[in-house]
A and B are shown apart, each in its own frame.
Chain A
Amino acid sequence: MTVSIMANLEVKDKMSVLQFGVVMAAIMLGAQFIGLPTQLVPQAGQLAWVSVILGGGLFFCATWVMLKLAALYPNSDPIEYLPRLLGKWLGVGAICVLVLLFLGVTWVTQNQFSRVLVFFMFDRTPTDVIIMSMLAVVAYCALQDLGTIVRVAQFTFFVSVAMIGAIWSVAIFNFQPENLLPFWTNKPIGVLQATLNTWGTYGGYEIVLLLFPVISQKRNNLVKVVGIGFIFITLISVIIVVVTVGVLTVETIKNESYPTLVVVRSVELPGTFIERLENYFLIAWIPLIFNSQALFVYMLAQIMSRLWGFADHRPWVLALVPLIYTGATLVDGLELMVLAGKVLTLLGLVFSLGIIPLVYLYAKWKNQGVTAGER
């Protein structure tokens, strides 16, 4: 019986389906879930968890369309077939939307992350230092090859999710289920609006387009694995939203800057060694940020290197680092952050719900891709 695992001696640049599931979950579980209640609750009230579930379903459908599009071209990546399909300028334009999207996400995430960290953990440390040091570590990771990145992503993902789960579960002590009632609301439109706003939580699934050719050839249960990944992220987000609304109330969430951290802070465990749980929470959050940032930067570097015909993604990682740093420090100020968030959500929705389905339908109509070869 020959072994069916990846051949080991060469540099590992393929991943299996399960590994891809974990990587996708890791990139989606980035920074956004800390700000999730702040985004959803003002619009959806105590039914925010319904929006989360609806959002999960919506973006899973978008991913499913992406999977079908990528399955039409099993061995090439979108940089190659999009220009082929749509003509050079339109194809490159679609790719540029994706690049802008990823870049914007890194900017906003880095800025938000450093501000939260400085506010809670430090006092006088400038945010630039935090961004710089995080970018240094992210660059070090993105410079490795895909096999290493996949393994690092899995390792940090499992460890941080375990830690965050343990810390979050002590919030049960303050949970008051009555805060989640009533189950009806007089503003159902708010729930739907909030659904669109959940893009921030699920953002990152676009990498399925880019990583598709690298996944090993057993692709039958890819849809199932992607579905499980989505269910996992939805579950985590629902738990976060439900517990936050249950511990604080809707009104308090509207008045707090960082309600998720306040939930963790509100837990008191007298007689144990543990105080200031939000520090532990933040520490467990840092590897998740690192994970998703490293994957985003790696993807960006790959896209750019293939667009410009480079063989290796490494020079682009180094070129992107100052760009990300500049952008992250410029997106400062509360209004600018909100605006950036809105722009990103818009871009993400346009890309996932607009561009990709159109491209897919167009490809099917032109009978391109794998199905064409079957004739």
Chain B
Amino acid sequence: MSASRRLIGILLVMSITLAVGGCWDRRELQDRNFVMAVAIDVAEAGQKPGQGKQEAKTETFVQPHGDKRYRVSLQILKLAKTGGDEPKGGGGTTYVLSNTGQSLFEIVRDTLGQSSKSLYFEHIQAIVISEAAVRELGIKSIIDFFLRDAEMRWRIKVYITPGEARPIIAYAPPNKEAGGIYLANIARNHPKNIHVAGARTDLGNISVLLDNKADLIIPRMEMTGNVIKIRGAALFKKDKFAGYIDEQAVAGIKMIRATEKSAIITLPGDEDSEVVAFELFRHDTQLAPHVDGDNIYFTLDITMWGNVGEYQVLDRASKADDPAFIRRVEQKAAEEVKRIVLYGKDSCQSLGVDVIYFSRKLKAHHPKTWEKVKDDWDTIYPTIPLVVSVNVVINQLGEHK
């Protein structure tokens, strides 16, 4: 046979093998069940309304190793068949499947027994973990599955909730969004809401922090009745749950970490029952470590520029463009910021959790000192002082003076 014929023959054989093999991964888009959110509880957490003990038993499976530790609930999207022509049914666009076990991967795969299509995690938006689940054994064992699987995204939002997690993902938001998207997008408002710690708290950052053996801060989500809100945060020491802090502490931490983009700082006005709101637009924050012999202390220099957002003044002939008034407001705002910052720092130090970057800055700028003190860090950290100096500049007063 001539050389070119042989060549063609070989190439044909190779191409036939490709066609015969088939396409392994072709799975149509509508044949996948989109998982939008995951909730993790302890296995003995409360039941679904209207669900008896028998149903809980059917949900779960016979497990070879370990005990029933976690309950994993998956929020799955319902595809509206009519393409949105008719109004969607009143039950919302998602439904929840649950299962209990220990290995999350095993639980998820077993949940396929309840699902008609394969579960598809690539669009997952949020993970809600209940405090009870995390208190026993820490967070690392829960999220390990999410870190290893290739389908997960780096930017899944993680929340801690003091109550039960499953009702949160069973909640149908009133604007008919899919629940997971709604939960994740709440945290996306964090640049404007200084009470929500949203910067660098998603799954990827948690993984990075855990690898570096640093401490974590995770936003806290609460649900009561029909109201869901993110307020405050949960602090973790390495991967053990340490405690909650409230919104003001979160504000202070954000200011130290310089992750706020816009914030409202309320100050008392000149008289009682008057309130001035200062709206921050731009800030310049420097956190610097200083080592003085054996003393370690940090300095925080903040310069803030912003507007007067609201001036609730009683019926007086006082206007906001009085320069003396403006100066008073600036000073009061500076003091208020200082107070908030110190409050945040104290909350962290009292729990012994370093989420305010002290160890990180020390490691970066004074590595030799870090080598000396890193073994005693747990004892040294709560005593480190922070010297705060704040400067506030008011640029504008808004449309109405």
The B-contacting residues of A in range 88-146, CB under 8 angstroms, are 119-120, 122-126, 129, 132-133, 136
Q: Which of A120, A124, A252, A276 lies at the interface centre, i.e. has the most chain B CB atoms within 10 A of its CB?
A: A252
A249 to B14, CA, bound (A): 44
Q: Which residues in B have their C-beta under 8 angstroms from that of A120?
A: 150
Q: Nearest chain-B residue to A266 (Cβ)?
A: B154
A248 to B211, CA, bound (A): 10
Pairwise interchain contact B25-A265, C-beta atoms closer than 8 A: no
Given contacts A123-B25, A251-B212, contact A182 B365 (CB under 8 A): yes
Cβ distance B157 to chain A, nearest Cβ, rounded Å:
11
Pairwise interchain contact A276-B212, C-beta atoms closer than 8 A: no
Q: Which residues in B have their C-beta under 8 angstroms from that of A132?
A: 14, 17-18
A130 to B188, CA, bound (A): 39
The A-contacting residues of B in range 323-367, CB under 8 angstroms, are 360-361, 363-365, 367
Pairwise interchain contact A276-B208, C-beta atoms closer than 8 A: no
Q: Which residues in A have their C-beta under 8 angstroms from that of B367?
A: 182, 184
A181 to B288, CA, bound (A): 14
The stretch of B3-11, B277-285, B293-301, B383-391 in contact with A is: B3-11
Cβ of B207 under 8 Å from chain A:
yes
Q: Which of B25, B155, B360, B365 contacts A125 (CB 8 A)?
A: B25
**Chain B residues touching A, majority SS:** helix
Pairwise interchain contact A249-B212, C-beta atoms closer than 8 A: yes
Per-position 1/0 for A272-291, Cβ under 8 A of B: 00001000000000000000
Cβ of A270 under 8 Å from chain B:
yes
Q: Which residues in A have their C-beta under 8 angstroms from that of B24?
A: 122-126, 129
Cβ distance B48 to chain A, nearest Cβ, rounded Å:
32
Q: Which residues in A have their C-beta under 8 angstroms from that of B154?
A: 262, 265-266, 268
Q: Nearest chain-A residue to B151 (Cβ)?
A: A123
Q: Which residues in A have their C-beta under 8 angstroms from that of B17?
A: 132
Q: Interface size bucket, B side?
A: 20 to 34
Cβ of B204 under 8 Å from chain A:
yes
Pairwise interchain contact A136-B15, C-beta atoms closer than 8 A: yes
Pairwise interchain contact A315-B3, C-beta atoms closer than 8 A: yes
The A-contacting residues of B in range 135-163, CB under 8 angstroms, are 150, 153-155
Cβ of A318 under 8 Å from chain B:
yes
Pairwise interchain contact B25-A182, C-beta atoms closer than 8 A: no
Cβ of B122 under 8 Å from chain A:
yes
Q: Which residues in A have their C-beta under 8 angstroms from that of B212?
A: 249, 251-252
Cβ distance B123 to chain A, nearest Cβ, rounded Å:
9
Q: Which of A181, A249, A276, A318 contacts B211 (CB 8 A)?
A: A249
Cβ of B83 under 8 Å from chain A:
no
Q: Which residues in A have their C-beta under 8 angstroms from that of B364?
A: 178, 181-182
Cβ of A2 under 8 Å from chain B:
no
Cβ distance A341 to chain B, nearest Cβ, rounded Å:
23
Q: Nearest chain-B residue to A129 (Cβ)?
A: B21
Q: Nearest chain-A residue to B367 (Cβ)?
A: A182
Per-position 1/0 for B1-37, Cβ under 8 A of A: 0010001001100110110010011000000000000
A125 to B208, CA, bound (A): 30
Pairwise interchain contact B365-A270, C-beta atoms closer than 8 A: no
Q: Nearest chain-B residue to A262 (Cβ)?
A: B154
Q: Which residues in B have their C-beta under 8 angstroms from that of A8?
A: none
Pairwise interchain contact B188-A270, C-beta atoms closer than 8 A: yes
A248 to B206, CA, bound (A): 11
Cβ distance A355 to chain B, nearest Cβ, rounded Å:
35
Q: Which residues in B have their C-beta under 8 angstroms from that of A125?
A: 24-25
A192 to B365, CA, bound (A): 24
A78 to B364, CA, bound (A): 51
Q: Nearest chain-B residue to A46 (Cβ)?
A: B364
Cβ of A221 under 8 Å from chain B:
no
Pairwise interchain contact B208-A248, C-beta atoms closer than 8 A: yes
Cβ distance B186 to chain A, nearest Cβ, rounded Å:
13
A268 to B184, CA, bound (A): 13
Cβ of A255 under 8 Å from chain B:
yes
Q: Which residues in B have their C-beta under 8 angstroms from that of A270?
A: 188
Cβ distance B285 to chain A, nearest Cβ, rounded Å:
14
Cβ distance A143 to chain B, nearest Cβ, rounded Å:
8
Cβ distance A46 to chain B, nearest Cβ, rounded Å:
10
Q: Which of B18, B25, B155 contacts A133 (CB 8 A)?
A: B18
Pairwise interchain contact B150-A178, C-beta atoms closer than 8 A: no
A266 to B202, CA, bound (A): 10
A251 to B210, CA, bound (A): 9
Q: Nearest chain-B residue to A133 (Cβ)?
A: B18
Known contacts A133-B18, A251-B211, A265-B204; 19 further A-B pairs (Cβ under 8 A): A120-B150, A123-B24, A123-B25, A124-B25, A125-B24, A126-B24, A129-B18, A132-B18, A136-B11, A136-B14, A178-B360, A178-B364, A181-B364, A181-B365, A265-B153, A268-B153, A270-B188, A276-B122, A276-B153
The 8 residue pairs across chains A and B that have the minimum distance between CB atoms = A181-B364, A182-B367, A266-B154, A251-B211, A252-B211, A124-B24, A268-B155, A125-B24
A residues lining the B interface (CB < 8 Å): 119-120, 122-126, 129, 132-133, 136, 178, 181-182, 184, 248-249, 251-252, 254-255, 262, 265-266, 268, 270, 276, 314-315, 318
**Subset of 6 A-B contacts with CB under 8 Å:** A136-B11, A181-B364, A182-B364, A265-B204, A276-B122, A315-B3
